[in-house]
Chain A
């Protein structure tokens, strides 16, 4: 007899619920370190393989093992992959949080739970599915030590059965997950099957949610932003990588190490790169500058606390004009803040990182595809403009799984910027390092080791003239700073252009956003149209300094909402500094600082309330 809880039948009777196909959020609540990551990935991939758009977001504690963690899979036929606030289907594996997890659900949600937790006693307006994990795991996993891990695969099987996920897809995803570990794959597969069979024999489906085959993911890939960035850096020709571990950036370099070992060992068996774990971020950025100065494509990856430590060197890069790439995978600050939560809180401090009149180029990827392409942009821009370029990713993008079209092989050759060779110097006789020869603010440099007696110049953070000689003369200083500013102005036309998405007709309301906020915004715009009949135009920023389009967009809209994931409207502040004073009053801030990925509903609600509706 089916053991679906009596409470449910009392609440809903036996009537068939309305079916909800390919539109749900599944949340798995587990304990950090319990090995649920593999199970969750298998579940995510199975849905993806069924052709249904998905995203997977891991909400984890700053802890190695023992604290609660939640993994949320959103499947959505319309392609919305931002976080959704409401959870439709909970897999409650963590006794500690189970009660709260269940209490916070909206009526009608489904709960798959470990039988002894007796969660069904908590509410009468939910659909409960008890699973006796311990009983099921023992026969499939004779080794008691492994049961804790294998147990998690059982819920994959139960969920697959209840949601109608094809077991063939589950097996395929599982084999991929365990790749070469055939024994582990078989063991886990047995657990999945045990779950599936248990559900078939004992559970009666009463929730409305199901997955049905579609064709919206054909040919696509699933990857996290840090891995995408790593690939991008490798194809951008990075040669020197230095780093100091910090969440959420570590996996960028760790993945890069794996890729480089696979694809960047030359025919002589030697590495065409050097990767060094530095003693701290001061050393990491110092090495980036040293390497960039000597001609390498150099980079580091870090998060807010590391960015703060890099401040002095950032100014040296700006003023002595040394290229390098810094990935900031933003997390919640100030201070150590919430190290495992996402944020866009480093925008202002990084734009002006360092003392004096320092201004830095920022790139703002919103997707894994842009992590890949902007890696290439970043290295090209760094060498073209002889300065640090910061790529402002975030934890949501960097560490979570995103689906994407496959990345395209770079179209343009690598641009190494203005570097004079021995032959150039033979022809020219000499050069002035900091002279604006081409009227773009950018001087020519030579690399150490260039075999010409006139190749050398003196790189310094102290005042200098065009020939890089020490100078304290006011006119030299002013001229030099104006020229460096001219570079920044030149950069406006070279950084990635913003993306404009217009609504129907002539919208009065504009939205400006950037980075991962994008995914909530596209959904919010549809909600505004469908629910409130409000049309919006949307400009997604891709870089700082801003290009012409940003000014035009604000000029064309009566009210412009700048949506971002920080408290102080940091990007709005940067825009304010850039635009005509009379336009400033058009800007409004929608800011989010809770550390969870931005969801559409919050944006919609806030915009509506600010519109006075």
Chain B
């Protein structure tokens, strides 16, 4: 009997020859519907599409449900699940040791805005090359639903407890302190988050993305301001974000009247189609003002708030050699005998 072999379609590969499967991680153990899982998916897609070598990526994280998520994407990248609130320092050390690594740090709102606020603040100041993602659900998921410091005024816990302290706006803070690409998104906003993540990968400097990521188990009910429903009803994107990576030649026309193009450090282009006439994502002061305005008005603003592709990174400032410090040979790290002789002579 004649058989026709149906050719299996070749799996899609990216520009470095990897399939999306090469970016996958272990099976998630987070709750079904948890926003954090959706963010992991977006990270996988963005890394795959950008053709990032997974072995060059490191995934530092703190402690929390969110901080567990690096186990669920990119198994071919080294992970460092550190201690609560201290991921920034661990990431900083790793990048100092090897400037060729691409750091994608995952934190939670508790991990960042409470116990870790000190390290967060100082990380933002340094403009270390890192993508810092806050998976923001307004509660401590892993310790079963207490309020975090990003919970909005008046937001209600399942138990009926109402939050009466003002939230910390991590985006306004990051911009104030010196982060050079800052945005807010929503785990349910596939397109926007995808573009922001790709821009983040192309950026050189500190990227801070606050991604609202509902906790289905402890903070997804009526009265919560970080629920799926609340976000769907209230999310107000500042702009539509288009991203053209450096390696793509496509040159689609755009209307300079409504769209601003920002060229990134690596030659990629960000196309920001304004939904708000006046907004200029390269103006720090205006960005901060607009975020404070949003709080006054009770808006849930998302989008790219601020970008500065030019600022020198921490590594540039330290004048660190191009080769990773971690693997410098002994000939580079141990001065010769004459050096010790000279030092001794000075002490005689």
The distance in angstroms between the C-alpha atoms of A291 and B93, with both chains bound, is: 4
Closest-by-CB residue of A relative to B347 is A221
Closest-by-CB residue of A relative to B79 is A458
Tell me if A297 counts as interface (CB < 8 A to partner B). Answer: yes
Interchain CB contact under 8 A, A289 and B326:
no
Q: Shortest distance in angstroms between A519's beta carbon and chain B's nearest beta carbon?
A: 19
Tell me if A556 counts as interface (CB < 8 A to partner B). Answer: no
Of the stretches B223-231, B284-292, B335-343, the one at the interface is B335-343
A290 in contact with B80 given A235-B334, A264-B335, A271-B320 (CB within 8 Å): yes
Task: Identify whether the interface residues of B are mostly helix, strand, loop, or mixed.
Answer: helix
Interface size on B, residues (CB 8 A): 58
Interface 1/0 per residue, A274-285 and B, CB below 8 Å: 111011101111
Q: Shortest distance in angstroms between B246's beta carbon and chain A's nearest beta carbon?
A: 22
Interchain CB contact under 8 A, B92 and A287:
yes
Interchain CB contact under 8 A, A239 and B325:
yes
Chain B contacts with A in 35-90, Cβ cutoff 8 A:
53-56, 58, 60, 70-71, 75-83, 86, 88-90
Tell me if B91 counts as interface (CB < 8 A to partner A). Answer: yes
Q: Shortest distance in angstroms between A320's beta carbon and chain B's nearest beta carbon?
A: 8
Of the stretches B94-102, B167-175, B301-309, the one at the interface is B94-102
The distance in angstroms between the C-alpha atoms of A223 and B320, with both chains bound, is: 29
Closest-by-CB residue of B relative to A451 is B55
Chain B contacts with A in 93-137, Cβ cutoff 8 A:
93-98, 100-101, 118-119, 121-122
Of the stretches A144-152, A408-416, A570-578, the one at the interface is A408-416
A283 in contact with B335 given A316-B82, A449-B55, A453-B76 (CB within 8 Å): no
The distance in angstroms between the C-alpha atoms of A125 and B2, with both chains bound, is: 124
A296 in contact with B97 given A283-B122, A316-B83 (CB within 8 Å): yes
Chain A residue contacts of B119, Cβ below 8 A: 279, 282-283, 286
Interface 1/0 per residue, A109-128 and B, CB below 8 Å: 00000000000000000000
Tell me if B165 counts as interface (CB < 8 A to partner A). Answer: no
Tell me if B333 counts as interface (CB < 8 A to partner A). Answer: yes
A289 in contact with B90 given A235-B335, A263-B339, A273-B325 (CB within 8 Å): yes
Chain A contacts with B in 399-434, Cβ cutoff 8 A:
406-407, 409-410, 413-414
Closest-by-CB residue of B relative to A322 is B80
A295 in contact with B90 given A219-B348, A222-B347 (CB within 8 Å): no
Chain B contacts with A in 286-329, Cβ cutoff 8 A:
318-322, 324-328
Interchain CB contact under 8 A, A221 and B118:
no
Chain A residue contacts of B320, Cβ below 8 A: 270-271, 273-274
Interface 1/0 per residue, A76-115 and B, CB below 8 Å: 0000000000000000000000000000000000000000
Tell me if A272 counts as interface (CB < 8 A to partner B). Answer: yes
In the complex, the 8 A-B pairs of residues with the closest C-beta atoms, listed nearest first: A290-B93, A286-B89, A295-B326, A237-B333, A296-B97, A291-B93, A287-B93, A294-B97
Contact surface of A with B, Cβ cutoff 8 Å: 219-223, 231, 234-240, 242, 259, 263-264, 266, 268-276, 278-280, 282-298, 312-313, 316, 406-407, 409-410, 413-414, 446-453, 455-462, 470
| Known A289-B93, A291-B97, A470-B71; 10 more pairs at CB < 8 Å | A221-B347, A263-B335, A282-B118, A286-B119, A296-B93, A312-B86, A406-B347, A446-B78, A448-B77, A455-B78
